[in-house]
Amino acid sequence: MTRLRSLTATVLALLSTISCSTPIATGYLEHQGQLEAGQYLDGLWCSDLLASRSYSEVKITSIEARGIEDNRGVSAAEAVSWLRAHLLAAPEESTGGDVLLSFPGSGPSANLELAITEMTPGSVAARIWAGEFGAGHAYVQVEGRLTDAADGGVLCEFAQRTRASGAVGFRDLGGDSGPAMVKQMLAMVARALRSELIAKLGRPAA
């Protein structure tokens, strides 16, 4: 029985497909048209300022829900709270509070501004009956910018859009999986963002 439960859990995990999707333009980013694929993020633009300075910390200054409404089972405020929690879930790389990352040295600080610009848990019925054709999928898009804390110069802008199929409805057989998928997608975005920032900032400036 234990082996059967383990196998069932594994199958369901494999069927719960979460993947990246091309970011859509929302008007939030100034350099939307210049976004290119980053090492971890789907859309990334960086200015020359980023390579010329060694930053000692990155602080989250704001996370907002922009242009999205409360959805069934998950509110915009909950989504903002989940994203913040996922970003600050690795205390070994931060100093507490709203400091996301800290690096050796006494360099300047950078501020991180984020916005959840798309959030939908999708449709249970659509996933069950036509999920394999893309119906009812859950989506999340997070956009943001990194700026110099002292002079406000924009260091980089980014966008990450993630899609979850809910295993084309399999997860919904036990109830609406939309809110759980939104939370999982926000966790994926947080990991990608942290990894991208570490790759860009966790080294001496050129």
Among 176, 57, 37, smallest CA distance to 112 is for: 57
Q: Is the pLDDT of residue 37 over 90?
A: yes
**Do 176 and 64 contact (CB within 8 A), yes or no?**
no
Q: Which of 10-14, 90-94, 96-100 has maximum average pLDDT?
A: 96-100
- What does the alpha-carbon distance between residue 109 and residue 150 come to, in Å, rounded to a whole number? 8
Express as a percent the part of the chain with pLDDT over 90: 50
- Which of the four pLDDT bands, split at 50, 70 and 90, describes residue 176? very low
Architecture of domain 38-201: 2-Layer Sandwich (3.30)
For the ranges 24-28, 118-122, 143-147, 167-171, the maximum mean pLDDT occurs at: 143-147
Q: Is 107 left (phi over 0), alpha (psi -120 to 50) or beta?
A: beta
CB 148 within 8 Å of CB 53: yes
